[in-house]
């Protein structure tokens, strides 16, 4: 594991403000993502670790809500592209071929 170091040491001062939907202090998720990708590999790894750890603290209710939203999104994607499905046997065959 990487040695703990304040995140602000790598990315500058923390912005003030609160999350509002997909924006924080005037930055969209895409902008935050772009800035994070500019970090050196060690800082990106630390940030990824912190973000993943933050998901472990979600309540059961929050996890359930998020999975329900994801299921709805996937269902809508499926409905929006009829005829794009392929048999599971084909998917598994392709996956096994890639592992060889």
- The pLDDT of residue 63 is 93
- The pLDDT of residue 21 is 55
- The pLDDT of residue 16 is 37
- The pLDDT of residue 85 is 84
3-state class of 69 per DSSP?
helix
Q: What is the mean pLDDT of each run of 10 residues along the chain (100 residues)?
A: 40 41 74 96 97 93 95 93 88 93
- The pLDDT of residue 24 is 58
Count how many residues are written for the chain: 100
Of the candidates 78, 98, 79, the residue with the CA atom closest to the CA atom of residue 90: 98
- The pLDDT of residue 42 is 97
Cα 7 from Cα 46, distance rounded (Å): 8
């Amino acid at each position: 594991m990487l040695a703990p170091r304040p995140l602000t040491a790598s990315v500058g001062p923390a912005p003030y403000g609160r999350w509002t939907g997909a924006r924080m202090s005037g930055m969209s998720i895409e902008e935050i993502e772009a800035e994070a990708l500019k970090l050196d590999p060690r800082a990106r790894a630390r940030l990824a670790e912190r973000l993943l750890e933050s998901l472990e603290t979600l309540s059961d209710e929050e996890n359930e809500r998020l999975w329900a939203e994801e299921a709805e999104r996937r269902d809508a994607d499926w409905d929006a592209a009829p005829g794009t499905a392929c048999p599971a046997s084909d998917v598994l065959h392709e996956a096994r071929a890639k592992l060889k």
